[in-house]
Amino acid sequence: MTLALSNVTKKYRDFVAVDHIDFTINRGEIFGLIGQNGAGKTTTFRMILNLQDTTEGEILWNGESVNNLNRDFLGYLPEERGIYPQMKVEEQLYFFGELHGKSKKELKPRIDYWLERFDLEEKRKVKAETLSKGNQQKVQLIASFIHEPQFLILDEPFSGLDPVNRELLMSAIIELRDKGVTILFSSHQMDNVEELCDRLCILKRGKSLFSGDLQELKEQYGKVNLRVRTAMTKPELAALDGVVNVKQTNDGYTLRLENETHGPALFERIGRGQYIEKFSMDYLSLDEIFKLKVGGKDGQNTPAH
């Protein structure tokens, strides 16, 4: 069960919203699609959902055009929330499930399971408008997959959630993945993408800056984040060879290096032959890489080694 985008382009007269993008999402995979506002993510979702036609290229599900498929194979959680405020929670979930051809008999055990899973059992008979924002999001997430789709699009599912509800939704998404659901995930919170996704596509103004394995992307830049706890001062650390900049943290200092080959020499200089309480080299976070790639004039910043 794979979703494949090949040379997909969407033009509106002279404006190119999506520009020849390619990626494949495998069965039981969570794939990240990230970019700034206006990068082309929503347009891509709409083409996958067959709400808009492609100008060029094709979108295939298991080798068949999505244009030819029944919509019930997929589910969609949009960034703009869309549950009915006057409808009771339980009625709402039955309504969305029946829209996808499921009977109440089929839906009842699923609704019971997910309401309990999301701590909503006591809310099943209340109107959606009376729920907190976090609980409304949980209801809409359940509505997006209550018909058990094979493919699921999640656009900003964690927006505005507190840490407890975030973890609850995170574990549910992982559970769906482990059951074989193919998931396309988008968020402006890069830590969520980094935690959930092994592969991703980075968009800027409709163009793909990178598509592939997250670890491979990190390795392009090398282990250039050095975290240390030392008696040396910030100016002393900044003056060391290979150090680009220094940030003081609550737990010492974080040094950005020109490349990871400076590590051994810095270990000797900072330790001065003595015990070092903390010296840890690591890759850039996805948030840092995203800012480098998307923040550059051409979006093609040179990796650090």
Query: Looking at the structure, do residues 75 and 103 belong to the same domain, yes or no?
Result: yes
Query: Structurally, how many domains does the chain consist of?
Result: 2
Q: What is the mean pLDDT of the chain?
A: 92
Query: Looking at the structure, do residues 170 and 51 belong to the same domain, yes or no?
Result: yes
Give the start-end residues of each E strand in the chain.
3-12, 15-25, 30-35, 56-61, 64-65, 74-77, 151-155, 182-186, 199-204, 207-213, 225-229, 243-249, 252-257, 278-282
List of residues 6+ apart from 210 with CB closer than 8 A: 200, 201, 202, 217, 293
Residue-level pLDDT at 296: 64
Report mean pLDDT in 10-residue bins for the chain, 305 residues.
94 95 96 95 95 95 91 90 89 95 96 96 94 91 95 92 91 95 95 95 96 96 95 94 95 94 94 87 95 70 49
Residue-level pLDDT at 301: 46
Query: Looking at the structure, do residues 122 and 234 belong to the same domain, yes or no?
Result: no
Last residue of a domain, one of 190, 218, 246: 218
Query: Looking at the structure, do residues 214 and 259 belong to the same domain, yes or no?
Result: no
**Contact (CB, 8 A) for 29 and 12:** no
Does residue 21 lie within any of the structural domains? yes
Residue 57 structural domain: 3-218
Does residue 268 lie within any of the structural domains? yes
Distance CA(21)–CA(56), nearest Å, equals 10
Residues 169-226: tens digit of each pLDDT: 999 999 999 999 999 999 999 999 999 999 999 999 999 999 999 999 999 999 999 9
Does residue 195 lie within any of the structural domains? yes
Q: How far, in Å, are 12, 20, 22 from residue 56 at the CA level? A: 12, 8, 12
Distance CA(182)–CA(30), nearest Å, equals 6
Residue-level pLDDT at 81: 74
Query: What pTM did the predictor assign?
Result: 0.89
Query: Looking at the structure, do residues 177 and 88 belong to the same domain, yes or no?
Result: yes
